[in-house]
Structure 1
Amino acid sequence: MESIPNARSLLCFGPKQPYPIALYLGFRLLKVLDAVSIRFYEFPLQVVKLVHLKYLAITYDGEIPSSISCLWNLEVLIVSQHNNIKRSNLPVYLPIEIWKLHKLKHLQCMGLDLPDPTSADDDSLVVEKLLTLSGVSAHSVTVGVLARIPNLKKIGIKIESAHDSVETFSFLGGDQFSNLLIRSPENVTSVPIQFPLFLKKISLSGCGFSWSYMRALNCLLHLETLKLRWYAFCGPVWETSDWCFSDLKYLLLEDLDLKRWDSTRDHFPSLERLVIRHCYNLQEIPPDFAGSKSLEEIEVHDCRKEVTVGIEKQRKRYRNIKCGLRVRFSGDDEKAK
């Protein structure tokens, strides 16, 4: 690789490597470095010399050095973990110098948190261009931190205790956020949460909510995308009753223990795409969904065949050619109908 010293991008493809691999980083004009597939046991200090970098993505389990602030052109920083094992009960913070990356737009750091810049007594520590923050825990969602990210639109939070869920969402008010992702590995967010009213996209995973708590989401009149993964809600029956998701366009149900979904298309008048994955207990979708005028596609992955058969019967009954159906089982090629 030394023969192309003026390279602008270095992309490392393939599965993640379990062992360290020597990577040449002598490209002084490099702007994009995507090395997520390579595991670093020590932070590659050559990286901080690449001052033209705009995009940096690596896999590293340790602490980020303060010299990261040398990458003053950086717009995207992604730090993935090789091991998702929690290292201690104490938060592990990014260096305070991370606040000097004033061009940063996207920050994704699994297992790391943003330090509170107010402790540094420096008013210049503001990242006005940051739009997306994900992978952090509740320790990053404080008044001091959010005040220094005035244009933040999307936030992904890892909840590790019920106390975190209460403490965190007391700060998420107003209309600042349009996209919220919550990941809870141990079903600890069963404590009711007051969601920001102006959210347009929500992704929940591992929260363990009761289906009755779906009313809290139904109050979000601007909600357009709802993704429920890995026991985000628990229980055999989801009954929408008189609830109406008036603006919802995309609904994902994945790895849920849901058996019966009692609803009607009138409760989802704007739904355009329905995706159901690995819901092995689900018996059928609501009996009139395929007759919806707004619904364009239903995707079914690894569910009971009765679900697919029921959808096909609905399409024939309503003669809905517009509503496509994609079915896939593990080991099979995807079938579009």
Structure 2
Amino acid sequence: MQLLGQSEGWKLFNEKACKSRGAEFETSEFETIGRPVVEKCKGLPLAIIVVAGLFSKLNTLEEWKNTANALSFSSTTTLDDEECSRILSLSYNHLTHNLKACFLYLGVFPEDHKIHANNLGRLWLAEGLVKAFENEEFDAVANRYMLELMDRNLIILSQLSPCGRKIKSFRMHDLLHAFCVREAQKENLLHVVLSENRSDFPQKGFRWVSIQSVNFDMSTIRSQSKSWKSFLYFLLEESSLEFNDFNLLRVLYSSTKSMKVMVLTDIVHLRLLILKQNIKLSRARGFLKPRCRKGIELSRSWNLQTLLCSKVVSYRSDDGGNYSEFPQLQYIRCYDGFIHGNPPSFVHKLFRIRVDDCTQEYIKNIPFLKKVGIVCEGRDDYNGCITNLASSEQLEGLHFGGTEFYIHSQFTNHIVLLKNLRTLSLFFVVFDSDGIDILSKLPRLEVLKLKYIGFRGAQWKIQEEVIFCQLIFLEIFCTPLEHWEASSHNFPKLEHLYIRFCYKLREIPIDFAEISTLKSIKLRECLHSAVESAKKILDEQRDYGNNDMVVIKKETLNVSESEESLSEEEPDQKWITDN
């Protein structure tokens, strides 16, 4: 690791510790305290930014003095492990009690693992580390905690959400990850299975177990299972496991399709279940014998909050009931399959249901629905489906489209009934050249994603009177669009434009240089001419004083590569242009 000189180290510290402070933090008194602190970090960038993150949270000169005095190191020119650990400990000890527990939970993930914020928030919720407040939902609390960790430079941002307000994913520096694991183990919270060596197992019961060893043997740690609250599996190698007598387990999480649960005796305290296999929910006063041969069946996991699977979530009842036995189940998602049966009335997020299931009665039964994913198969009544959704007053997010074929965009006339919609993702839909414009009538729409979209005439011409008044993020993915006409007037608040795999798009409208809010244009596998148009927009934005805007390009194509990509894609994606 390259070490920084004193001037570089001070510049980095000053940038991180004082970036959001007023002029008083630029005075010589604060510099007098800060420079010796930077010197104690001995040029190690991680140590400098972690200390800077800590000092950025201190508000007075006295607090700076007291914290600086806590750092006393040897006179050697480099940091040893103990001194580095002392710096990390100082920052960790300044966290609130709740934030400490949330930080330690990050140790369950493997080193250099990309951590997805949505999953982490639900893991924290399941463990009781975050909770909703009267005016703040749990995911907002979780995002606030992650932002706090990022401000303190304890995590490294990988990606923000499309709107730019939330963390989507992040990573940890390897030294911080090692510190996190070490502290969690010291508190008898975490055991990481990295080998089959039984001598590594702690004598006392631990709360979280993370499986990261290829030679993992469940029987070697089963004696400790009664204390487990979280079981997380991160291996690519296939493994078949049985879970019985895990009475206190709250989290059962697999990051891959490799873990197969053969037996899962109903766990009353289970709150989060993420598996890549079928799940069947059963309503019964007593235990039921499993009938779900290719998956697992639950009947008494009454505390379940989150359920994610790869194939099918279905429901079986011996007395014609519904999901009333799962009163806390708010998030259900199937990655490849569908949800069968009526969902619980408390559900907030529901992903991958069929259009035919989206009846008026079905929607009426879930009044708290906020986000939903709906897939059309065959010639379904998708207009009626959208009309039924209009009765869902809290609906903010919709993912809607076909599967292996395109559907016509006439349903967009009905989508405008969803007045509270903030996020809209459409896929495998055919639009006329101006068919998308009607979406501008959604008054709160902030995020619009257009994936596998067919444009009749291969062009999108937006009329001057069409205004996407609140749109912040626009993504165009894998379309045959060739010509795009638009002005800054059409997108007055656009911040992020993301164009991927648009092999024929010649250029981005140059008038986007007039959008004062524009922060980024990202292009991947697009024509060289489209990239050049983005650079022209960037140059003009610079002339207007917008020095923060960026253009990010990856794998730019030339014309021959574009034609080759299209010839490969057309048979599978069934591009529609002039028909």
TM-score (norm 2): 0.49
Q: Assess if the C-alpha contact under 8 Å between 1:162 and 1:191 holds in 2.
A: no
Instruction: Tell me the CA shift for residue 180 of structure 1.
Output: 0.5
Question: What is the SS of the residue equivalent to 1:171?
Answer: helix
Q: Is it true that 1:11 corresponds to 2:227 in the alignment?
A: no
Q: Distance between the aligned counterparts of 1:111 and 1:164, measured in 2?
A: 20
Give the Cα separation in 2 of the matches to 1:30 and 1:232.
47
Unaligned runs of 5+ in 2: 1-220, 283-296, 557-579
Instruction: Spell out the pairing of 1:167-316 with structure 2 (5 A cutoff).
Output: 167-174=384-391, 175-190=393-408, 192-193=410-411, 194-195=414-415, 196-231=418-453, 233=455, 235-242=457-464, 243-316=466-539
Asked if 1:31 corresponds to 2:254, the answer is no
State which of 320, 325, 331 in structure 2 corresponds to 1:100: 325
**Which deviations, in whole Å up to 9, do the C-alpha atoms of 1:122-141 show, x marking residues without a partner?**
xxxx532x110111111331
The 1:317/1:136 distance shift into structure 2, 3 A limit, reads: same
- Report what 2:375 is aligned to: 158
Gap change, CA 1:28 and 1:214, over 3 Å in 2: same
Residues 141 and 205 of structure 1, relative CA distance in 2, 3 Å threshold: same
For 1:266 and 1:136, the matched residues in 2 are separated by 37
Instruction: Give me the whole-angstrom Cα distance separating, in 2, the residues matched to 1:21 and 1:141.
Output: 37
Runs of 4+ in 1 over 4 A off after TM superposition: 232-235
Q: Distance in 2 between matches of 1:9 and 1:116?
A: 29
Between 1:141-150 and 1:255-264, the stretch displaced more is 141-150
**Aligned partner of residue 108 in structure 1, secondary structure:** strand
Contact 1:113 1:139 in 2 (8 A): no
Q: Distance in 1 between matches of 2:299 and 2:513?
A: 53
- Quote the Cα distance in structure 2 between the aligned partners of 1:49 and 1:163: 37
- Mapped to 1, the partners of 2:263 and 2:378 lie a distance apart of 35
| 2:222 aligned with 1:2 | yes
Tell me the equivalent position of 1:333: none
Aligned length: 306
CA distance in 1, matches of 2:307, 2:455: 32
Moved more, 224-233 or 148-157: 224-233
Rate the CA distance shift 1:53–1:233 in 2: closer, same or farther, 3 A.
Answer: farther
Quote how far apart the aligned CAs of 1:208 are. Answer: 2.4
Q: How far does residue 241 in structure 1 lie from its aligned partner after superposition? A: 1.3
- For residues 306 and 533 of structure 2, the distance between their equivalents in structure 1, rounded to whole angstroms, comes to 45
SS in 2 for 1:192: helix
Residue identity in the other structure for 2:540 = R
User: Which 10-residue stretch deviates more, 20-29 or 295-304?
Assistant: 20-29
State the secondary structure of the residue aligned to 1:160: coil
Q: Which amino acid aligns with 2:425?
A: S
From 298, 310, 315, the counterpart of 1:68: 298
Deviation string for 1:73-95 (max 9, x for gaps)?
1000112139xxxxxxxxx9533
Structure number, greater radius of gyration: 2
Aligned AA (1:78)? L
For residues 160-211 of structure 1, the C-alpha deviation after alignment (integer angstroms, 9 at most, x for no partner) is 1333312312211143311100131133421511112321110011122333
Query: Which letter does structure 2 place at the counterpart of 1:135?
Result: R
Higher helix share: 2
Work out whether residues 103 and 127 of structure 1, in 8 Å CA contact, stay in contact via their aligned partners in 2. Answer: no
1:57 shift after superposition: 1.3
Question: Does the CA-based 8 Å contact 2:472-2:495 persist in structure 1?
Answer: yes
Cα distance change of structure 1 residues 310 and 115 upon mapping to structure 2, 3 Å threshold? same
Q: CA deviation at 1:250?
A: 0.6
**Contact 1:184–1:207 (CA<8 Å) still a contact in 2?**
yes
Cα distance in 2 for partners of 1:213, 1:3 equals: 62
1:122 is matched with none
- Higher RCO, Cα 8 Å, sep 6+: 1
- For residues 305 and 528 of structure 2, the distance between their equivalents in structure 1, rounded to whole angstroms, comes to 46
Q: Distance in 2 between matches of 1:24 and 1:144?
A: 39
In structure 2, C-alpha distance between the alignment counterparts of 1:186 and 1:240, rounded to whole Å? 28
2:405 match: secondary structure = coil
Q: Secondary structure at the match of 2:243?
A: coil
Cα deviation for residue 99 of structure 1 reads 4.2
1:252 is matched by which residue type in structure 2? E
Between 1:107-116 and 1:217-226, the stretch displaced more is: 107-116
Gaps of at least 5 residues in structure 1 are 83-91, 118-125, 331-337
